[in-house]
Amino acid sequence: MLRRHLMLAAPALLAAATARAEQRFPSMSMFIPAGPGGGWDGLGRAIEQVARGAGLVGTFQFENIGGAGGTVGLPRFVASKRGRGDALMVSGSIMVGSVLTNKTPVGLQNVTPVARLTEEADVIVVPASSPIQDIRGFLAAMKANPGGTSIAGGSAGGTDHIALGLVLKALGHSARQGSYVAFAGGGPAQAAILGAQVSAGMSGLSEFAEQIKAGRMRALATTGATRSDPAIPTLKESGVEVVITNWRGTFAPPGVRPEALAKLVALMQEMHALPAWAEMLKTRDWADAFMVGEAFAAFLDRDRAQTEAVLKEIGLA
Amino acid sequence: MSAWDGLALGFGHALTLSNLGWALLGCFLGTAVGVLPGIGPALTIALLLPITFQVEATGAFILFCGIFYGAMYGGSTTSILLNTPGESGSIITALEGAKMARNGRAGPALATAAIGSFVAGTIGTLGISFLGPVVVEFALKLGPAEYFSLMVLCFVTVSAVLGGSALRGLTSLAFGLLLGLVGIDLQTGQPRMTFGIPELLDGVNVVLVAVALFAVGETLFLAWRHNNQKAEVRPVGSIMMSRDDWKRSWKPWLRGSFLGFPFGVMPAGGTEMPTMLSYYAERKLVAPEHAAEFGTTGAIEGVAGPEAANNAAAAGILVPMLTLGLPTSATAAIMLSAFQSYGINPGPMLFEQQSALVWTLIASLYVANIMLVVLNLPLVGLWARILKIPQPQLYAGILVFATIGTYGISNSVIDLVLLYGIGVVAMFMRRFDFPTAPVVIGMILGPMAEQAMRQALTISQGDWGTFVTRPGSAALLVVALLALVGPRVWGAVRRG
Amino acid sequence: MHDLARADLKVGGFVLALGGLALWQAAEIPVSPLYGQVGPKAVPYGVAAVLALLGAGLVVQALRGGWSHTLEEVQDAAPTNWRALVLLGAGLLANVALIGPQGFCLAASVQFVLVAAAFGSSRMGRDAALALVLTLAVWFGFVMLLGVNIGAGLLEGSILRLLGQELP
């Protein structure tokens, strides 16, 4: 396990400068089931920054155990933190998928949902030189010949692939029929789209946003419930009943007492209400997707069902 | 803003005391982590990401770039001295470098690596400053079909390291291909060759395998035949490069640089492929009187070329990141996320919107490069003295060292078991004369070639003709054929 | 059959078995229904088959007398040093076993002492001192510079406490 505590630059300096709220936790252990530098790690660090800055939490101990979409770390969190009210794990939609694909015995049902914090919609893009002008053109092409339109995205079974599967299902095809070209990492996928090696691409909006702004890619539609960018329509508006986002949130270990869980939820609510959090969301370009309690648990069930349906069709669940 | 104005602006910012300090700290940290196998610049920068909350953007990026360049220098040092590559781009350097060190030529090997890195780093940074956008536009024209053909070309390199028997050499290659298959298949998400072990789902790390094959295997083999009476003393020899060393090094430096930079720029390129091609080229181009040194006592050309290729490629990797916002390597991806935590969105407009930052960053690459060569050359003598450590403590140290990198970050005992297990296999490979280099080459190229092939075939909807009807791909396949049979035909012609 | 050739035969058999193992694992890969032209199994089958073929080739070569007798290094090799091999193996095993529960410094130091002994060092006390200094320096370097704790145990924890710091 990788425990981190940065001494190189003392974070306490900054913390002292801002207004302090009442301390809720003297210390909190933050478990990241992924390596440093990724999206989950980024969210965990952002929580640390805001919660410590406001004095809600004294110190954070980070622990990173990466591997296999979080399924290597998850069982360790469940085993080592069981019943502890001062531990959080960052996770999200990627893990909903990886638990299903890797068929691991320990899943998100073994941890306690605390709060959903951020989300990011996928965007469907085509190269600037593409004959496809808008989402209608794209849907028509997909409906006529799903295999003829090659679509670049992240690894198979990930959010991009599931989003494509949902679109295909909505068009009356099977999720397995698309010509999905998986790339390792955003760079090679973007390069393939910019160079018009593929017909279209799907990935998180922030990954493509700058290419869209620069006019090198044409955005056709986003996959959120509402518009992520006022200029880009959603799939729903275009008559395709597909809503899928890459969401991230926090979870507590299994077996936490109800009052301990309530305290963690309250911490998330307090942090979410801080102006510093709003500021953080703005700098990072994260969409606010705050949701706690029953609503979050119900959302989690829906998300799992939707993901599982696609994964089953593409032979991964 | 022209490149000259940009550079003037950039140097103005980069040469302030605090920014020089960040560059120095970066170079130091980078060298330190570059030396450690398994801990690379990407991970180091990821670990240091939280400083983006405290340090202003320019300083942080100068630090990161120093780490990136420093790791490239550090990676070669242990490759040469201890046969323990610190980074995947330094694996090929170990082939000739470690042999030179064993034969009392550690000093010249380290020096040619350091100076070659400087030459290549400078050429690469000049490339970033003046050619960046043009090269990237060209690189975007390469699709999966071309990448596949390019990897076929790189596979030709294996023929230079097969050793005494093609049968045994190819067995090594197949073993490497097998190791490369372990993990989740990118295209379909299915687990392969994992034996149901979750830790294997992300595949086996190539640096771990290289360290196991080169360092652990070697140590085990020596223990197997160890004779307590006869303590082997490794000669340290001259520290400086002789006039002849210079004469033999400068062309490989340049060839390596010009080979490496474009590979770095390619979105699916990386630092490994050009080092292989450079090694192959140097082995074929070496003057006949030195040809026998390859694979025996160690040829300086085989260190100078790949090291230069590695560093030029590392510089090239920054080009798509700075000009298009494309993260084409793990390090670039982490740096991009650092941009985001400053609210800077890296993309095609980065050069215009953040010109001061970008040019300062480029200027500090020149600075870091000079710092590194100034720091590293005087250290050559000190490093080379490591070989004077008595054998028991030296080998014990090497194993501890391999452990730090492997276990330190992943904290996975499975990784340690793999390291030692593959080390035992390597011990037997050594005894039965199976070359180890093809394992690493197969492991690096195999997965890339397979994915590129399947991506190309999905795009072409199953038409295998795509590899020969696309002109770029066809041309590369022809070059591969020429590289394979050309030297033989040329040799036959020369013999008359 | 000559001893050396018998050893070569074992190697050929091992490669053949590895090929067989790979074929079995390739067969275990689930068939993907995805619209792909080359599935996840094709290349693994190919690699496994080639490996098995090469193994068969090595077996044939071994039966014809093998290759070890042509290797100079094998001919003038010293006899197997069992003491060294056992000590070294013990060092590696000790590291694997101890690194989790006892932390990096202790595990790596035990390994260092055993490996040095394998190579003929007789001053175990000095080796142990050297190893502890070395590993502790590395450990603190990581903690201080990168904020990474590369596996802490009792030793690291108590030294930190002596310095008046909490384990990060």
Q: Over chain B, what is the mean pLDDT? A: 87
% of chain A at pLDDT higher than 70: 93
Query: Band of the pLDDT at A8, cuts 50, 70, 90?
Result: very low
**Phi, psi at residue B269, to the nearest 5°?**
-85, -90
Confidence (pLDDT) at C5: 86
Q: How far is CA A153 from the centre of its chain?
A: 15
The 10 Å Cβ neighbour count of residue B390 is 14
Query: Band of the pLDDT at B41, cuts 50, 70, 90?
Result: confident
Q: Does A12 touch chain B if contact means CB atoms closer than 8 Å? A: no
Q: C67: nearest CA in chain B?
A: B432
> HSE-up of A18 (CA within 13 Å, CB side)?
18
Is it the case that residue B231 has pLDDT exceeding 60?
no
Set of chain C residues whose Cβ sits within 8 Å of the Cβ of B232: none
Residues 6+ apart with CB under 8 A from B207: B37, B38, B40, B85, B86, B87, B88, B91, B405
Is it the case that residue A10 has pLDDT exceeding 60?
no
Whether residues C149 and A2 touch (CB distance < 8 A) is answered with yes
β-pair partners for A57: A25
Whether residues B399 and C111 touch (CB distance < 8 A) is answered with yes
Nearest CA among B468, C144, B189 for reference residue A71 = B189
List of E strands, B188-284 = 191-192
Confidence (pLDDT) at B233: 62
Nearest CA among B443, B436, B466 for reference residue C47 = B443
- Choose among A191, A198, A213: nearest Cβ to B267: A191
Set of chain A residues whose Cβ sits within 8 Å of the Cβ of B52: none
Q: Domain limits of chain B? A: 3-495
Q: Does B410 touch chain C if contact means CB atoms closer than 8 Å? A: no
Mean pLDDT, to the nearest integer, of C113-138?
A: 89
Is it the case that residue A179 has pLDDT exceeding 50?
yes
Set of chain C residues whose Cβ sits within 8 Å of the Cβ of A9: none
Q: Over chain A, what is the mean pLDDT? A: 85
Query: Band of the pLDDT at A9, cuts 50, 70, 90?
Result: very low
- Give yes or no for a contact between A172 and B309, defined as CB atoms under 8 angstroms apart: no
Nearest CA among A107, A112, A72, A108 for reference residue A88 = A112
Whether residues B177 and C47 touch (CB distance < 8 A) is answered with yes
Whether residues B457 and C38 touch (CB distance < 8 A) is answered with yes
Set of chain C residues whose Cβ sits within 8 Å of the Cβ of A61: 168
Q: Looking at domain A121-222, which of 3.40.50.300, 3.40.640.10, 3.40.190.10, 3.60.150.10 is its CATH number?
A: 3.40.190.10
Confidence (pLDDT) at C1: 57
Q: How far apart are CA B124 and CA B105, in angstroms?
A: 28
Confidence (pLDDT) at B341: 79
Mean pLDDT, to the nearest integer, of C40-61?
A: 93
Q: Does B175 touch chain C if contact means CB atoms closer than 8 Å? A: yes
- Give yes or no for a contact between A97 and A66, defined as CB atoms under 8 angstroms apart: no
- Choose among A4, A14, A206: nearest Cβ to B53: A14
Q: How far apart are CA B329 and CA B319, in angstroms?
A: 11
Whether residues B320 and A6 touch (CB distance < 8 A) is answered with no
Q: How far apart are CA B276 and CA A83, in angstroms?
A: 53
Whether residues C149 and A6 touch (CB distance < 8 A) is answered with no
pLDDT of A43-102, one tens digit each? 998 898 899 888 888 888 888 887 778 888 888 888 888 888 889 999 998 888 888 888
**In whole angstroms, how far apart are CA B152 and each of B88, B441, B475, C45, C160?**
19, 12, 12, 19, 53
Query: Band of the pLDDT at A106, cuts 50, 70, 90?
Result: confident
pLDDT of B58-103, one tens digit each? 889 899 999 998 888 888 888 898 888 888 888 899 999 999 988 8
> Number of helices and strands (H, E) in chain A?
11, 11
The 10 Å Cβ neighbour count of residue B20 is 16
Set of chain C residues whose Cβ sits within 8 Å of the Cβ of B399: 91-92, 111-112, 115
Give ∠ CA C160-C164-C168 in degrees, rounded to 5: 50
Whether residues C34 and A7 touch (CB distance < 8 A) is answered with no
Confidence (pLDDT) at A12: 40
Residue whose tokens read 């070294």:
C88
Residue type, B326: L
Confidence (pLDDT) at B408: 67
**Phi, psi at residue A30, to the nearest 5°?**
-115, 115
Nearest CA among B176, B372, A274, B194 for reference residue C54 = B176
What ipTM is given for this predicted complex? 0.91
Whether residues B396 and C127 touch (CB distance < 8 A) is answered with yes
Of A259 and C139, the one with more pLDDT: A259
Pairing between β-strand A57-64 and β-strand C148-149 as defined by DSSP bridges: unpaired
Interface of A with B in 32-71 (CB under 8 A): 35-37, 41-42, 45, 49, 65-68, 71
The 10 Å Cβ neighbour count of residue A143 is 12
Q: How far apart are CA C87 and CA C107, in angstroms?
A: 15
Residue type, B75: G
What are the structure tokens assigned to A20, written together? 């302090």
Confidence (pLDDT) at B190: 85
Set of chain A residues whose Cβ sits within 8 Å of the Cβ of C30: 315
What are the structure tokens assigned to B384, written together? 């080379």
pTM: 0.87
A26, exposed or middle or buried, with CB in 10 Å at 0-12, 13-18, 19+? exposed
Confidence (pLDDT) at A169: 87
Q: Domain limits of chain A? A: 2-119+246-313, 121-222
Q: Does A198 touch chain B if contact means CB atoms closer than 8 Å? A: yes
One-character DSSP codes across A14-71: HHHHS-----SEEEEEEEESS-TTSHHHHHHHHHHHHHHHTTSEEEEEEEE---GGGT
Longest dimension (CA), chain B: 70
- Total number of residues shown for chain C: 168
Confidence (pLDDT) at B279: 93
Please give the radius of gyration of chain A, using alpha carbons only, rounded to the nearest integer.
20
The 10 Å Cβ neighbour count of residue C163 is 8
> HSE-up of A54 (CA within 13 Å, CB side)?
20
% of chain B at pLDDT higher than 90: 28
Q: Does B54 touch chain C if contact means CB atoms closer than 8 Å? A: no
**In whole angstroms, how far apart are CA A49 and each of A10, A52, A54, B63, B342?**
12, 6, 9, 21, 14
Query: Band of the pLDDT at A4, cuts 50, 70, 90?
Result: low
Query: Band of the pLDDT at B450, cuts 50, 70, 90?
Result: very high
A interface with C, Cβ–Cβ below 8 Å: 2-8, 61, 146-147, 156, 176-180, 313-315
- Name the DSSP class of A234: B
Q: Coil, strand or helix: which one is C69?
A: helix
Q: Over chain C, what is the mean pLDDT? A: 85
Q: How far apart are CA B445 and CA B179, in angstroms?
A: 11
Q: Coil, strand or helix: which one is C112?
A: helix
Residues 6+ apart with CB under 8 A from C78: B225, B226, B227
> Number of helices and strands (H, E) in chain C?
7, 1
Confidence (pLDDT) at A118: 92
What are the structure tokens assigned to A189, written together? 């996928």
Cα end-to-end span (Å), chain C = 62
Mutate to test the interface with C, among B39, B43, B226 (most CBs of C within 10 A): B226
Q: How far apart are CA B39 and CA B32, in angstroms?
A: 9
Assign domain A2-119+246-313 to its CATH superfamily: Bordetella uptake gene, domain 1 (3.40.190.150)
Which range among B86-90, B251-255, B289-293, B370-374 has the greatest average pLDDT?
B251-255
For CA atoms C158, C162, C163, C168, give the dihedral sign: positive
| CB neighbour burial string for A228-245, b if at least 16 within 10 angstroms, e if fewer | bbeebbbbbeeebebbbb
Interface of A with B in 221-280 (CB under 8 A): none
Nearest CA among C80, C135, C129, C140 for reference residue C105 = C135
Nearest CA among A17, A89, A50 for reference residue A286 = A50
Q: C103: nearest CA in chain A?
A: A1
Query: Band of the pLDDT at B356, cuts 50, 70, 90?
Result: confident
Is it the case that residue A16 has pLDDT exceeding 50?
no
Q: How far is CA C114 from the centre of its chain?
A: 16
- Name the DSSP class of B306: H
Which H or E run contains B430? helix B413-431
Q: How far is CA B102 from the centre of its chain?
A: 22
Whether residues B333 and A37 touch (CB distance < 8 A) is answered with yes
CA distance C35 to chain A (A): 5
Query: Band of the pLDDT at C39, cuts 50, 70, 90?
Result: confident
Whether residues A45 and B185 touch (CB distance < 8 A) is answered with no
pLDDT of B150-186, one tens digit each? 899 888 888 888 888 889 999 999 999 999 999 888 8
- Name the DSSP class of B141: T
CA distance A176 to chain C (A): 5
Confidence (pLDDT) at C29: 86
Q: Does C143 touch chain A if contact means CB atoms closer than 8 Å? A: yes
- Give yes or no for a contact between A133 and A234, defined as CB atoms under 8 angstroms apart: no
- Name the DSSP class of A176: G
Q: How far apart are CA B470 and CA B468, in angstroms?
A: 6
**In whole angstroms, how far apart are CA C92 and each of B178, B413, C81, C107?**
25, 12, 17, 9
Query: Band of the pLDDT at B230, cuts 50, 70, 90?
Result: low
Is it the case that residue A11 has pLDDT exceeding 60?
no
CA distance B35 to chain C (A): 13
β-pair partners for A249: A91, A116
The yes-or-no answer to whether A2-119+246-313 and A121-222 have a common fold is: yes
Q: How far apart are CA B201 and CA B194, in angstroms?
A: 6
Interface of B with C in 196-225 (CB under 8 A): 219-220, 222-225
Q: A179: nearest CA in chain C?
A: C35
Q: How far apart are CA B29 and CA B53, in angstroms?
A: 20
Is it the case that residue A140 has pLDDT exceeding 70?
yes
Residue type, B260: G
pLDDT of B380-418, one tens digit each? 888 888 888 888 888 898 888 888 877 766 777 888 999
Q: How far apart are CA B200 and CA B205, in angstroms?
A: 10
Query: Band of the pLDDT at C17, cuts 50, 70, 90?
Result: very high
% of chain A at pLDDT higher than 90: 27
Mean pLDDT, to the nearest integer, of B42-51?
A: 82
- Choose among B177, B403, B428: nearest Cβ to C95: B403
Write down which chains contact chain A via at least 3 CB pairs under 8 A: B, C
**In whole angstroms, how far apart are CA A195 and each of B267, B268, B329?**
11, 13, 18
Residue whose tokens read 């320096």:
C137
